[in-house]
């Protein structure tokens, strides 16, 4: 049984976690965390300065040598304990994600299972980091390859999957023996702060994991990226920001892992089972309310079945229940910010101006929160802005062929 909403929000740490200590920002600044379903402030968390970011990297660098020499089995056991702790606190993590990000509670529970699994997987991989031994081509010598931790790593995680994108990065780093500086999205820092508390309880030593929340991401992150002591950068987010980070990382030839935006197609051919195609489209489009880089963005439907497909999809999309993610029966929560809702609305309006037709939805809903009605567009022209953009919302744009 999880905690109550108020108890959970009160219990989550609100500071920066640097070198094994929770602390306020060096200038005392904080940033608000909103509930996108109501617009109300849930909490204020510390907003790191450039000096705080440097302190976090200092701690990671200082801890790297000892952490790298820690037995792989010990690192794996930390991850295994953390996996079990997350699963045991499924209700708390799910509620927290719903409150700060907006996704329905059932979907948040799914993310807890998905996110925890990264820790279980890498707990088993920690003892399986193998090198290589081979005979040289001339037969006179032997070739041996040894693997070692790459070193201090900067991890920048997105708001749309605030738990899973954290565990996906932290898990392999712990398994490999790398220290970390983690910067969660300003919109959804609470989930990462709760995860940090769990990892501390499960035995992650001081300095190995450092977490900085900030309203000034670019200013605080760039000095860390350009610091010659950093060894790796991993970022999940928009393509635009990814390009800038790769450019900054080039100076030090950092190892880089990027998971950036997408523009995924969904194809329906003339011989398709239309009902099955609609089922697939709902899954592909509406996971995380469309706020996923893997969400179907462009639906290409053969002209012979386009009318039937659009009608059935419109019926399914139009029947979805909007509401606060914690509300009973809610199927679609709010978009993460007011700006996100405006952006989605702008893409829909542009498509309509260019000739697209609205089958259902098409606009933001009145009242508090950043809700946008699930939308189906037909006759979408190829020059519509949303065809070449990542919609990141509950809008299915149908083009025919």
Q: Is 259 a catalytic residue?
A: yes
- The full DSSP string for 301-367 is E-HHHHHHHHHHHHHHHHTPPB--TTSTT--B---SSHHHHHHHHHHHHHHHHTT-EEEE--SBPSS
Q: Is 360 a catalytic residue?
A: no
CA-based nearest residue to 6, from 40, 43, 32: 43
Residues 259, 308, 363, 385: which is the catalytic one? 259
Helix (H) or strand (E) holding 298: strand 296-301
In whole angstroms, what separates CA 131 from the centre of its chain?
31
Longest dimension (CA), the chain: 77
Residues 107, 111, 291, 293: which is the catalytic one? 293
CA-based nearest residue to 333, from 74, 71, 37, 97: 37
| Beta carbons of 194 and 90 less than 8 angstroms apart | no
Dist. CA 280–CA 63, nearest whole Å: 47
Q: In what order do the strands lie in the sheet with 264-268?
A: 264-268, 296-301, 395-400, 375-378, 357-360
228 class by beta-carbon count within 10 Å (0-12 exposed, 13-18 middle, 19+ buried): exposed
| Beta carbons of 377 and 357 less than 8 angstroms apart | yes
Helix, strand, coil tally for the chain in percent (to 5): 45, 20, 35
Would you name the residues annotated as active-site residues? 259, 293
């Amino acid at each position: 049984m999880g905690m109550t909403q108020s108890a959970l929000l009160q219990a989550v740490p609100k500071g920066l976690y640097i070198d094994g200590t929770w602390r306020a920002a060096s200038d005392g600044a904080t940033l608000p965390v909103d509930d996108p379903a109501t617009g109300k402030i849930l909490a204020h968390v510390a907003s790191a300065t450039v000096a705080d970011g440097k302190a976090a990297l200092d701690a990671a660098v200082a801890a790297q040598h000892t952490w790298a020499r820690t037995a792989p089995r010990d690192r794996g056991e930390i991850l295994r304990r953390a996996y079990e702790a997350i699963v045991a606190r499924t209700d708390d993590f799910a509620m927290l994600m719903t409150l700060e990000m907006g996704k329905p509670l059932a979907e948040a529970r799914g993310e807890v299972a998905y996110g925890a699994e990264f820790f279980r997987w890498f707990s088993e991989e920690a003892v399986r980091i193998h090198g290589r031994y081979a005979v040289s081509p001339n037969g006179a010598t032997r070739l041996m390859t040894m693997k070692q931790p790459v070193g201090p790593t900067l991890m920048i995680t997105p708001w749309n999957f605030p738990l899973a994108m954290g565990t996906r990065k932290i898990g392999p780093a712990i398994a490999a023996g790398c220290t970390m500086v983690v910067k969660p999205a300003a919109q959804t820092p609470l989930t990462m702060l709760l995860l940090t508390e769990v990892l501390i309880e499960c035995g992650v030593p001081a300095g190995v994991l450092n977490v900085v929340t900030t309203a000034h991401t670019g200013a605080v992150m760039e000095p860390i990226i350009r610091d010659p002591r950093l060894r790796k950068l991993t970022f999940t987010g928009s393509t635009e920001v990814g390009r800038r980070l790769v450019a900054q990382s080039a100076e030090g030839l950092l190892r880089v892992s990027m998971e950036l935006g997408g523009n995924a197609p969904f194809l329906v051919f003339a011989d398709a089972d239309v009902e099955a195609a609609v089922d697939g489209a709902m899954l592909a489009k509406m996971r995380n309310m469309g706020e996923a880089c893997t969400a179907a963005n462009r639906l290409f439907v053969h002209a012979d079945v386009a009318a039937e497909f659009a009608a059935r999809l419109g019926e399914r999309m139009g029947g979805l229940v909007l509401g606060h993610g914690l509300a009973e029966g809610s199927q679609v929560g709010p978009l993460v910010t007011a700006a996100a809702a405006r952006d989605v609305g702008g893409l829909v309006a542009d498509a309509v101006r260019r000739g697209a037709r609205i089958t259902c939805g098409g606009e933001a809903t009145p009242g508090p929160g950043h809700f946008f009605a699930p939308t189906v567009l037909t006759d979408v022209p190829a020059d519509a802005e949303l065809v070449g953009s990542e919609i990141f919302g509950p809008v299915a744009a149908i083009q025919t062929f």
